A and B are shown apart, each in its own frame.
Chain A
Amino acid sequence: MGGTDSVSLKRIVFLTVGTTSFDALVKVADTLEVKQELTRRGYTHLLIQMGRGTYLPAESIGEDGLLAVDCFTFSSSIADHLSSASLVISHAGSGSIFETLRLGKPLIVVVNEDLMDNHQSELAEELADRKHLYCAHPQSLHQVIVGMDLKSLLPYQPGDATPVAKLINRFLGFPDD
C-alpha cells in the first residue's frame, strides 16, 4: 500500500453527513476499531464530509498501516465523491440515500439518535428491510461493518414520478400522454 505505487487501486470509503452536524458519526468513524476493520476489508482511503460538525477527525496519509483519512466540511456537489467511492457511509437524509442508491454504491446509513422526532429512521429501516442498504446507529457502526456482506445487497430500481403525473393530469381533465 505504498504511496509510490502508482498502480495501487484506491478503494475509498466516503462518509457524508450532508448539511447537518453529526459529530457522533464522525467520532465513531475516527475510532481505531472502525478504521482497522475498514483497512482489513481492503479500503485504502476514508474521506469524511463533516458538514456543520465541530469534531475534527485526525487526518492521516496512512503510514501507520491504517487507511488514509481526509476530511472536509462541505462541497457544492458530493456527486463526484459518491461516484469514486467503493463504500458510502451516510446520515439518514433522503437526498443522500437516493443519490447513492441511484449510483449503485453499497451504502451504510447511520441514524442520528439525537434528532427529535426521528422520522428519518423509518426510511433507512424500510430500505434496509428491502436489502438495499445497511442501517446502523453510531454505536453499532463497527458491528455492522464487521458483519456486512455487500454482495448480498439488492440494487435499487430508481423510482418514477409518472404515476403521479398521470393521476394529476386525469384529475385536471388533460388528455393522457
Chain B
Amino acid sequence: MDGCYFCIMAIIATSVAIFLIRLLHVLYLTGKSRRLKSPQPLSTLIVLGSGGHTAEMMNLLSVLQMDRFTPRFYIAAATDNMSLQKARVFEDSLLHKKVIKGSSAQFMQIYRSREVGQSYVTSVWTTLLATTHALWLMVKIRPQVVLCNGPGTCIPLCVIAFLFKVIGIRWSSIFYVESIARVKRLSLSGLLLYKLCIADQFFVQWPQLQRKYPRAHYVGCLM
C-alpha cells in the first residue's frame, strides 16, 4: 500500500517538475524567433472584436501576404455579428482580386466569458463555459500563428495556445497589437498578455506605451 502511494506521489511530482521545466523553457523562448530556411505557410488564428478592433485587424491583414498565413481561422464573440461579416467580405475581396486561389478561411464564434453588466456569480459559470469552448476550438484549429488586438475573447485563446506550447501539442507564435485607442494605458487583455509574457511580440501604436512597457515594439499608428 505504501509502495503504491509512494509511486503515485513520485509520478505526480515528476510530472509537475517536467511541466515547470517545460514552462520555463517556453517562457525563455517567448519572443525569440525560430527562423527556418524557407518557411511553409502557417495556419493562422485571427481574433476579431467589436468596434475598432476588427477594422484595425483588417488593416493589418491587408498588408500581410496571405499565402504565408493559410489556412486562416477567424473567431469572434457569439454576440458580435458585424466582425465575421467584415472578415467574409475581406476574404471575398481576396478571391476577387485573385490574391488567393481557393477559399481557405473558416469563420467561428466563441462564447463570451462575461457580458457587459452580467452578475459576477453567473460569470463564474459562463467563464468556465467560454474556456471549455475555447479549448474545443483550439484543439480543432491548433494554429501556428495567433493574431489578436485587444478584445477579451483573445485571452482564453492565447492562454490555451501558450499551454499547447508547454504541453507540446502545437508550437505557435503569438502576436498582439494593442489598439490605437490605447495611448497611455494598456487594455486589460494587453496587460495580461504582456505581464504573463504570453505574446511573442507585443506591438503598441503610441510612444507613451513603449516607454511604459519596454518589451513592447512601437510601430506607430496603423489607422
A residues whose Cβ falls under 8 Å from a Cβ of B: 93-95, 98, 102, 119-120, 122-123, 125-126, 158-165, 167-174, 177
Does residue B76 face the partner (Cβ distance < 8 Å to A)? no
B221 within 8 A of A: yes
CA distance A95 to B57 in the complex (A): 12
Contact in complex: A161, B63 (CB < 8 Å): yes
Per the 8 Å Cβ criterion, residues 170-205 of B in contact with A are: 173, 175, 177, 179-185, 187, 200-201, 203, 205
B-to-A contact residues, CB < 8 Å: 33-37, 39, 42, 51-52, 55-56, 59-60, 62-65, 68, 145, 173, 175, 177, 179-185, 187, 200-201, 203, 205-206, 217, 219-223
Q: Is A172 in contact with B145, judged by CB distance below 8 angstroms? A: yes
Contact check, B65 vs A159: say whether CB atoms are below 8 A apart: no
* Docked complex Cα distance between A162 and B220 (Å): 10
- CA of A159 to CA of B206, assembled, Å: 12
Interface residues of B, dominant DSSP: loop
Chain A residues lying within 8 Å of B177, measured Cβ to Cβ, are 164
Instruction: Report whether B52 and A169 are in contact in the complex, using a CB–CB cutoff of 8 Å.
Output: no
Known A159-B222, A165-B63, A167-B203; judge A172-B183 contact (CB<8 A).
no
In the complex, residue of chain A having the shortest beta-carbon distance to the beta carbon of B31: A171
Q: Which 7 A-B pairs have the closest CB atoms?
A: A159-B221, A173-B35, A94-B52, A122-B183, A98-B223, A171-B33, A94-B181
Write out the residue numbers on chain A whose beta carbons fall within 8 Å of the beta carbon of B184: 122
CA distance A98 to B35 in the complex (A): 36
Closest chain A residue to B35, Cβ basis: A173
A59 to chain B, nearest CB (A): 29
Instruction: Choose from A98, A119, A164 the contact partner of B182 (Cβ within 8 Å).
Output: A119
B180 with A159: CB separation less than 8 A: yes
Q: A123 and B183: CB pair below 8 A?
A: yes
In the complex, chain B residues whose CB is within 8 Å of the CB of A169: 64-65, 68
Q: Whole-angstrom distance from the CB of A80 to the nearest CB of chain B?
A: 18
In the complex, chain A residues whose CB is within 8 Å of the CB of B59: 159, 161
Are B220 and A123 in touch, CB under 8 angstroms? no
Q: A119-B185, A164-B177 given. 15 additional CB < 8 A pairs?
A: A94-B180, A95-B52, A102-B223, A120-B181, A122-B181, A122-B185, A159-B59, A160-B221, A160-B222, A164-B222, A172-B39, A172-B173, A173-B39, A174-B65, A174-B68
Q: Are B33 and A170 in contact (CB under 8 A)?
A: yes
Contact pick for A93, options B52, B62, B203, B206, CB 8 Å: B52
A170 vs B220: C-alpha distance when bound (angstroms): 18
Bound complex: CA A170 to CA B56 (Å):
21
Contact A172 B219 (CB under 8 A): no
Q: Which A residues lie within 8 Å of B187 (CB)? A: 119
Minimum CB–CB distance from A36 to chain B (whole Å) comes to 33
Q: How far is the CB of A86 from chain B (nearest CB, A)?
A: 23
Q: What residues of A have a CB within 8 angstroms of the CB of B35 in the complex?
A: 173
- Rounded to whole Å, the gap between the CB of B96 and the closest CB of chain A is 19
CB distance B33 to A98 under 8 Å?
no
Residues of B contacting A162 with CB < 8 Å?
A: 63
Q: Is B39 in contact with A119, judged by CB distance below 8 angstroms?
A: no
